[in-house]
Chains A and B, each alone.
Chain A
Amino acid sequence: MRTTLNILKKGEKAIIKEFDVDAVPLKLLEMGCLPGNVVELLQIAPFGDPLYLNINGSHVAIRVETAKEIEVDLIENN
C-alpha cells in the first residue's frame, strides 16, 4: 500500500519517494519537493485541509489533493 503525504500525522517526518510529474506542479518541486528530501507535517488546518509542511527547509501549505499524489517513506521516531 502506498503511503502518501496526506497520511502523515502532525509532527511526523517522511522522505519523499516519488510522484507523477503531471500531478504535482513544477513549482512545488522548485520549493524543494524532490525525491530524497525530508518533509515534516507541521500543522493541519481545521477541517483537515490544507496541510502546512516543512519540505526540505521550505515552509509551505498545500492542499490534500496534491499531497495525495506524493509517495513517501515514513521516518520512525526514535
Chain B
Amino acid sequence: MIQEILAFGILILAIAFLIKKYFWKKKSDKNCGDDDCGCA
C-alpha cells in the first residue's frame, strides 16, 4: 500500500539523517562552498 511505502520511506530518511549528523566524517574542511551546508 502506498501508505506503508511512504511511511517507511520517511523512516529511512530519518535514520539516514541521524547517521549523517552523528557519524559522517567531513572529508575536507573547505569543500562546502559558501552556502549553508546544514552544518548548523
Q: Do chains A and B touch in the complex (CB under 8 A)?
A: no
Q: Which B residues are within 8 Å of any A CB, using their own CB?
A: none
